[in-house]
Amino acid sequence: MSLRERLASGGFAVTAEISPPRGASTAKITETAELLKPSVDAVNVTDNQGSNVRLASWAGSLALLAAGLEPVMQMTCRDRNRIALQSDLLGASALGIRNILVMTGDHPKFGDHPGAKPVFDLDSVQLLWALRAMRDQHVLLSGRKLDPPPDCFLGAVENPFAPPVQFRAERLGKKVKAGAQFVQTQFVFDVPAFARWMAQVRDLGLHEKCAILAGVGAVRSVKALDYMRDHVPGVEVPDAAHDRLRNVPPGRQAAEGVKLAAEIIQQVAEIPGVAGVHLLVAGNERAVPDILDGAGLKTTTRQNHGR
C-alpha cells in the first residue's frame, strides 16, 4: 500500500527520514531501507539537509525505490530556481518517485558552504502551486503546456511552535490551497501546544483536505537534545523533556528517548485530525522498530512495494 493509499484509506501512516551520505555511494541508503522496510509506509530523503552537501535527494529516492521502499523526495527552494525545480519534478515523476515534499529549506549560512548564493527564487507556497499546476493543469509556471503531466503526491512541512503562532495554522491553509495533500510537522515535544495548533487546523477544516503527520523524534542523549535545541532552526525543547532525559544515567538516556517518543506518538494519535506520524530519526534509524513497538503500532503489518 502506498503512502497515498494508506492516507486515503484512513489508516495511521508512519513515515521516517534518512539523510543521504556525503559521498558517491547509495550502499548506506540501501542498508537503512532494509532496516526500515517492515516498519514504515515511506521514507523522506532530505535535500542537502542543513545546507550541507550530500548525495542528491532524487538519487537517494531512486536507491530507496530499488530497495523496495517508497521514497518521499524532499525538495527545497534554497538551491534551485523555478526552471530547475520544475525540471526535477518531471524527472522524478518519470522515474517513479511519487511523493514530493516541498519546503523552503535552511539558509546556506547554517551549512558547510555559508558563502553560497541563497536562491529562494520561489517560496514553498509558490513551489507547491507550480507543481500542482504541472500535474492538474498540465502547464508550467510560464504557461507552456506539458505532455505527459507528472503524477505526484504533494507534501509540505509546518512548524506549529514558531512565532507567529496564531498564524501557523493559516500558513498551512495557504499551503493546502496551493496544493499540499499531506504535511509533516517539526518535532513535537510540547504536546499541549501541538494540540492547540491542531484545534486551529480543524477549525479551518484543513485536516479534511490534507493529512497531518506529527513529527516525532527519538533523541539518544541530553547532549543530542541540547544540540538540537541550539543548532537546529525552529526546534523548541520544553524543560520537561529535557529534565526527563537528564534524570536518567547516560547509559539509559537512549532508551528513555525511545520511551518518550513512543509516549508522544500515543498522545498525538489521540488528537482528532492526526493522520500519522513522521519519525525524525535521521542517523538513529535503528530505534524505529522499538519506538513503534513502544507506541503499540504493529511493525510487521506494513508491506512496502515501492514501485
Partner 1 sequence: MTAAPPVPVHPRLGVRVAYRLQQVLRPNAGYRWLSARVEASGPVRALFTGAERTTKTPVFGCRMCGQCALPATGYVCPMGCPKELRNGPCGGVGADGSCEVYPERRCVWVDAYDRAASQGRAADLRLLHRPIDHRRWGQSSWLNYWQGRDDDLWTAEP
Give whichever of 35 and 116 is closer to partner 1, judged by the CB atom. Answer: 116
Please tell me what DSSP assigns to residue 289. Answer: H
Among 96, 195, 228, 236, binds partner 1 (CB under 8 A): 236
Give whichever of 26 and 186 is closer to partner 1, judged by the CB atom. Answer: 186
Among 39, 48, 61, 159, binds partner 1 (CB under 8 A): 159
Among 10, 115, 148, 164, binds partner 1 (CB under 8 A): 164
- Cα→Cα distances 295→17, 173, 219, 238, 252, Å: 18, 30, 16, 21, 19
Is residue 157 at the binding interface for partner 1, with CB under 8 A as the rule?
A: yes
Is residue 225 at the binding interface for partner 1, with CB under 8 A as the rule?
A: no
**69-98 positions binding partner 1, by CB under 8 A:** 77-78, 82
Could you give the angle at the alpha carbon of 248 between the alpha carbons of 247 and 250, nearest 5°? 120
Long-range contacts of 107-112 (CB under 8 A, 24+ apart): 107/51, 107/78, 108/51, 108/78, 109/51, 110/50, 110/51, 110/231, 110/233, 111/48, 111/50, 111/51, 111/52, 111/53, 112/51, 112/52, 112/53
Is residue 123 at the binding interface for partner 1, with CB under 8 A as the rule?
A: yes
Could you give the angle at the alpha carbon of 196 between the alpha carbons of 177 and 282, nearest 5°? 75
Is residue 141 at the binding interface for partner 1, with CB under 8 A as the rule?
A: yes
Dist. CA 221–CA 231, nearest whole Å? 15
Is residue 242 at the binding interface for partner 1, with CB under 8 A as the rule?
A: no
Give whichever of 64 and 125 is closer to partner 1, judged by the CB atom. Answer: 125
Is residue 129 at the binding interface for partner 1, with CB under 8 A as the rule?
A: yes
Is residue 114 at the binding interface for partner 1, with CB under 8 A as the rule?
A: no
Torsion angle in degrees (nearest 10) through CA of 206, 70, 31, 61: -90
Is residue 177 at the binding interface for partner 1, with CB under 8 A as the rule?
A: yes
Dist. CA 273–CA 94, nearest whole Å? 33
Among 91, 94, 95, 167, binds partner 1 (CB under 8 A): 167
**Residue 219 beta carbon to partner 1: minimum distance, rounded to whole angstroms:** 19
Dist. CA 240–CA 292, nearest whole Å? 22
Is residue 174 at the binding interface for partner 1, with CB under 8 A as the rule?
A: yes
**Residue 126 beta carbon to partner 1: minimum distance, rounded to whole angstroms:** 5
Q: Interface residues with partner 1 (CB under 8 A)?
A: 77-78, 82, 103-107, 109-110, 118, 120-126, 129-130, 132, 141, 157-159, 161-164, 166-167, 170-171, 173-174, 177-179, 186, 233-234, 236
